[in-house]
Structure 1
Amino acid sequence: MLSGCSSDDDDPNVAESPAPTAGETTTPTPDATPEPSAVDPASVKANELAAIPVMMYHQVKAEVCSACVYDQTPAEFKAELARMHKAGFVPITVAQMVAGEIDVPAGKHPVVLTFDDSSASQIQIDADGNPTPDSAVGVLEAFAKENPDFRAMGSFYVNDTSFNDPKALPWLVEHGYEVGVHTVTHANLKQSSDTTVQKEIANNIAAIKAQAPDAKVNTIALPFGISPSNPQLLRSGEFEGKSYTLDAALLVGSNPAKSVFDADFDPYKIARIRSGPKNKPVETDSTYWLDLFDQGKWAAYTSDGDPTKISFPSTSTKKVGSKWADKANPYEPAGEGSGSSSSPSPSATASTPPSSSPEETPAATPTSTS
């Protein structure tokens, strides 16, 4: 499941002690420092073929209109972070997920926090060079400071406005947040020519790089969740000498995403869960899915704590993708309740969005875009 950014502190390796210098006394140590014992995946019910929630946020502001189904107040956003933290979720970025770099502690669940449209409510930099406390990033940074096991990490998908603050993009990149494509004009790519699709993507990346040269831009959040008629243009393209390559594309969706290690995972059709006001939740939004998770009605990706292995119950009906086959680590579940065969949704009806296919579905209302 939501996604700030700055630190990875999960490396379990024990560093060797340096040799003492002349005249220095040391406490006697054993001949060799044992490696920390590996966690038995069965003991934490590891399931790295299960679903990953990719949360989709828009504005975080003090007043939310009744039709703004993608927006939250700072208090609501903080409360949702607290709920995910309590449930054992740890943020990663889209780029990390797609690359299979899912390094979270054993027994914990990765969640991706994504933010569309680069609105001013997401981040503004104050006179001291810090995000304003009432912005989305400000709330996330403060929450992570209070709860160090919940990383300030996320993926921001920007349009040409770039938060209306020239300091925002450089700050995000400097502090480890992912920045991705959302097109220059928030274009409906299916209604655009091949040339326009490439122009929207290539110029968007060029604008990001102009403000933040160190940004690594390799994922896109599709405006309205709609793919171009030529899906190859999501992978690579070129406009006026500016070429690009993208590794993943995000839909609007209404359900958790498949695990990147699942043989059925498609990096260019990654589902997301909408997150909006808590006083008026919409169908299949974050409240809906977190409620079902708390009730044990869908299985989230559960880490074995070892990024070099992909652990899952041997009884799972899911298959590891061929790209990851050498890391597959099936294990015998310890009794019942391993969640080995749980699907990302409680039932066929519960997982079906109330409208048509998410990649073909514009935003729910004309005043709220994705």
Structure 2
Amino acid sequence: MYHRITPEPTSVYDRTPRQFRAELRRLAEEDYVPVTTAEYATGRMDVPAGKHPVVLTFDDAAESQFRLNEEGEPAEDTAVAILRDVAASHEDFRPVASFYITNPPFGGEHAERKLRWLHEHGFELGNHTLDHPTLSTVSASEVTHQIAGMRREILDAVPDAEVSTFALPRGVHPDSEQLARSGESRGTRYHHDAVLLVGARPAPSPHAAGFDPLNVPRIRSQGDSGSGAELGSTAWLDKLAAEPSRRYTSDGDPSVVSYPADSSVTPATESEREFNAY
């Protein structure tokens, strides 16, 4: 889970361009392959055998994540430019990610053009509400207005976008959790294959019995220091590297679901089963 990519971080949610590039390189070198949230949620992950899917999510549609230069290409040191650069030098590392859009998208200027560019280049456009309210503090009608309204704006710009996943503002559900998954407002209906939380552990395999599409956890991108570092990406990547059987490892055939036959690597507890490789 990423927010701003900035040379001057002001919170633990910010990452510098150098930090972001280093983390992507680590993921590539440790055989992770980016997939979108939509691919993850539906289990349709076409990942080479022996490699591990990773979902790169970006909340709030910050301009530091994506803007276009005068040539119509991703501007230097934005998240999209860095991702495409790393992918160009690492075979199988797909330059895809999922962006969770709120208003105004990516600074507002030329917003429709930016959304179209992302969609045309394989990036997922997800919903993050119109105004980023804490959904537990507003009425049911406002919840559906916020979600349906953002869906409408995305589809106005990109009519063939799916908009099938949703990131909860601040990770907080509305009083009725089901409204985060499906609803309707002013003639616009929505239904999400996955609803994303804010933290703070790896998500289970979408094929696992414990997979809950209404509560998909994420890991905040973070180094080995600062508040919450023990739950951040550096700590979790270290843990998964030390216990590789916990990672989802692809068999290379997206039409087949494989799992370890050796009982010595099959978790015996529910908490471990969440992180098993399926």
Fold equivalence (TM over 0.5): yes
1:61 matched to 2:12? The reply is no
- Kept after mapping to 2: 8 A contact 1:299/1:344: no
User: Deviation of residue 96 (structure 1)?
Assistant: 0.4
User: Deviation of residue 315 (structure 1)?
Assistant: 4.7
Partner Cα distance (1:184, 1:344) in 2: 37
User: Match for residue 273 of structure 1?
Assistant: 219
- Kept after mapping to 1: 8 A contact 2:223/2:233: no
**1:318-357 CA deviation, whole Å, 9 max, x = no partner?**
xxxxxxxxxxxxxxxxxx6xx33287978xxxx9xxxxxx
Amino acid at match of 1:303: S
Matches within 5 A, 1:85-124: 85-124=28-67
User: Which of 275, 293, 314 is matched with 2:261 structurally?
Assistant: 314
1:210 matched to 2:136? The reply is no
User: Which of 269, 282, 289 is matched with 2:236 structurally?
Assistant: 289
Partner Cα distance (2:224, 2:88) in 1: 24
User: Deviation of residue 283 (structure 1)?
Assistant: 2.7
Distance 1:215 1:278, change over 3 A: farther
Partner Cα distance (2:269, 2:126) in 1: 29
1:189 matched to 2:135? The reply is yes
User: Deviation of residue 152 (structure 1)?
Assistant: 0.3
SS of the equivalent of 2:152 reads helix
Matches within 5 A, 1:319-330: none
Partner Cα distance (1:266, 1:308) in 2: 21
User: Match for residue 22 of structure 1?
Assistant: none
1:125 matched to 2:72? The reply is no
User: Deviation of residue 213 (structure 1)?
Assistant: 2.0
Greater RCO structure (CA 8 Å; 6+ sep): 1
**1:155-189 CA deviation, whole Å, 9 max, x = no partner?**
00010110014232111111010011111111111
Amino acid at match of 2:253: D
Partner Cα distance (1:144, 1:75) in 2: 15
Q: Percent identity?
A: 44
Partner Cα distance (2:68, 2:194) in 1: 29
1:300 matched to 2:247? The reply is yes
User: What is the RMSD of the two structures over their aligned residues, measured on CA atoms?
Assistant: 2.1
In the alignment of these two chains, the number of paired residues is: 270
1:142 matched to 2:88? The reply is no
Amino acid at match of 1:340: T
Matches within 5 A, 1:165-244: 165=109, 166=111, 167-244=113-190
Moved more, 279-288 or 115-124: 279-288
Distance 1:285 1:74, change over 3 A: same
User: Match for residue 51 of structure 1?
Assistant: none
- Kept after mapping to 2: 8 A contact 1:69/1:277: no
- Kept after mapping to 2: 8 A contact 1:292/1:298: no
**1:109-149 CA deviation, whole Å, 9 max, x = no partner?**
10000000000000001111110121000100111111131
Amino acid at match of 2:88: K
User: Match for residue 330 of structure 1?
Assistant: none
User: Match for residue 208 of structure 2?
Assistant: 262
Distance 1:110 1:245, change over 3 A: same
- Kept after mapping to 2: 8 A contact 1:64/1:277: no
Amino acid at match of 2:85: A
User: Deviation of residue 62 (structure 1)?
Assistant: 1.2
Q: Which runs of 4+ in 1 moved over 6 A?
A: 342-346
Partner Cα distance (1:280, 1:264) in 2: 31
User: Deviation of residue 220 (structure 1)?
Assistant: 0.3
User: Match for residue 32 of structure 1?
Assistant: none
User: Deviation of residue 253 (structure 1)?
Assistant: 1.6
What is the TM-score when the length of structure 1 is the normalising length? Answer: 0.69
Give unmatched runs, 5+ long, in structure 2. none
Partner Cα distance (1:239, 1:134) in 2: 38
Q: Which has the larger radius of gyration?
A: 1
User: Which of 24, 27, 40 is matched with 1:84 structurally?
Assistant: 27
SS of the equivalent of 2:230 reads coil
User: Deviation of residue 276 (structure 1)?
Assistant: 3.1
What is the TM-score when the length of structure 2 is the normalising length? Answer: 0.91
Give unmatched runs, 5+ long, in structure 1. 1-55, 317-335, 352-370
**1:170-226 CA deviation, whole Å, 9 max, x = no partner?**
111110100111111111111111100000001011111122222210110001111
**1:232-286 CA deviation, whole Å, 9 max, x = no partner?**
2122211111221221100012100010000110111000001135664723100
Partner Cα distance (2:223, 2:243) in 1: 24
Amino acid at match of 1:306: D
1:74 matched to 2:31? The reply is no
